[in-house]
Amino acid sequence: MNKVVLVTGANSGIGLALCERLLTQDTEGVQLCLACRNMQRAQAARSALLASHPTAQVALLQMDTSSITSVFKAAQEIKLRYNRLDYLYLNAGIMPNPQFDVTAFFKGLFSRKIITMFATGEGILTQTDRITPDGRQEVFATNLFGHFLLIRELEPILCHAGRTSQLIWTSSSNAHRSAFNLEDIQHQKGTQPYSSSKYASDLLSLALNTHYNKQGLYSSVICPGFVMTNLTYRILPSFPAFLWTLLMPIFWLIRVFTNMFTLTPYNGAEALFWLFQQKPESLDPYAKYHSLTSALSNNYTQPQKMDIDLETSEALYEKLLQLESEERRKVKEKQKPSQHFHSNRAGPLSS
Ligand SMILES: NC(=O)c1ccc[n+]([C@@H]2O[C@H](COP(=O)([O-])OP(=O)(O)OC[C@H]3O[C@@H](n4cnc5c(N)ncnc54)[C@H](OP(=O)(O)O)[C@@H]3O)[C@@H](O)[C@H]2O)c1
């Protein structure tokens, strides 16, 4: 039977590389759905995939994970198209207006943390977040909350007796407990919304396992390593392309010291692809699965224990459920006929 696979943020970078790898492994056995906010870029990605796999089944779906209405609408559409979903890759993500802290970088260069700094960006990246039209912090909404609502909406086609489905989050090694605050899950007050959102996805994955494993739904998180994609190029937007090219040999050299410099989207998608082939029951809910590339350019996946705990993961889950109820209430309010409409109707009837 075909595996139905939906990938968010599939029109570029790691998401697109995953799609390419899935089709290369089994063109006929996979039914792909690319869920993207920009349909022009999605169409280009679909054409590229079909160029190398002409017989593949590749569908497109418009979805902006930062918009509640868009997520609900997309979920309805998915439920109309598919009666089951085997894999849901929660990959769309943003790191808006990243600022590179040069002072912290040079300090890091001469400290013991040098490798960690290069591998995880810890301490050297801050971002300026903004508010979505729904009134939520954009990074939280895009990277975490939109995906959470999508899972909740797709529950009927993700949970089926007698078979398993997988949720697979593209997290990051930049997910730090220190950036996350349970009293401020949207990260309204800090300067590291990206790190906070990724830490929250690690926590949420654990909670999803607690609540859904009995129904056959399993959740895992991966880190793709440091990959050259649109997201990373935006860290230094004024950097001309040729300087990135000049930096590449240095990046290759760093790979001798850290296998987290996966660099290409193909390598970065290693753990996403590896998880596709695993029995979800055999996976560790406390592990983050890392895409790694050795100095000799061999790709492999390695689990590492996450710095998460059940209590915090449950507390976050509860808060997300509360936010979900708020959003559902708002949607209902919008759908209610207005007072004005009622009084107009009441008029002729009462006369
Ligand atoms: N690159 C790295 O080194 C690295 C490291 C750790 C984790 N990650 C994670 O890897 C994932 C993929 O990123 P990437 O590196 O491959 O960068 P990318 O090429 O920029 O891919 C990000 C994808 O997310 C989509 N996206 C962004 N906001 C969206 C929204 N509101 N609704 C729907 N789709 C949206 C983008 O679509 P558009 O084309 O419309 O913008 C794009 O397809 C992200 O979650 C990122 O945080 C990357």
What confidence tens digit (pLDDT) does each residue in 90-132 have?
999 999 888 877 787 778 777 777 777 766 777 777 888 999 9
pLDDT (tens digit, 9 = 90+) per residue, 3-47? 999 999 999 999 999 999 999 999 889 999 999 999 999 999 999
Percentage of the chain beyond pLDDT 90 is 73
pLDDT recorded at residue 340: 53
pLDDT (tens digit, 9 = 90+) per residue, 135-170? 999 999 999 999 999 999 999 999 988 899 999 999
pLDDT (tens digit, 9 = 90+) per residue, 252-304? 888 888 899 999 999 999 999 999 999 999 999 999 999 999 988 999 999 99
Q: Which domains does the chain have, with CATH numbers?
A: 3-350 (3.40.50.720)
pLDDT recorded at residue 346: 40
| 308 close to 202: Cβ distance less than 8 angstroms | yes
Between these two residues, 110 and 203, which has the higher pLDDT value?
A: 203
pLDDT recorded at residue 119: 66
Between these two residues, 308 and 230, which has the higher pLDDT value?
A: 308
Confidence of residue 317 (pLDDT cuts 50, 70, 90): very high
In the chain, the N- to C-terminal Cα span, in Å, equals 63
| 267 close to 293: Cβ distance less than 8 angstroms | yes
| Residue 94 CB coordination number (10 Å) | 22
Mutation to probe ligand 1, out of 37, 148, 232 (largest number of atoms < 8 A from CB): 37
Tokens for 337?
Answer: 């006929």
Report whether pLDDT(75) > 60: yes
- Beta strands at 287-293 and 3-8: parallel, antiparallel or unpaired: unpaired
Catalytic, out of 194, 199, 266, 286: 194
Ligand 1: residues within 6 Å at CB?
A: 8-9, 11-15, 36-38, 41, 63-66, 91-94, 142, 170, 172, 224, 226-227, 229-232
Between these two residues, 172 and 106, which has the higher pLDDT value?
A: 172
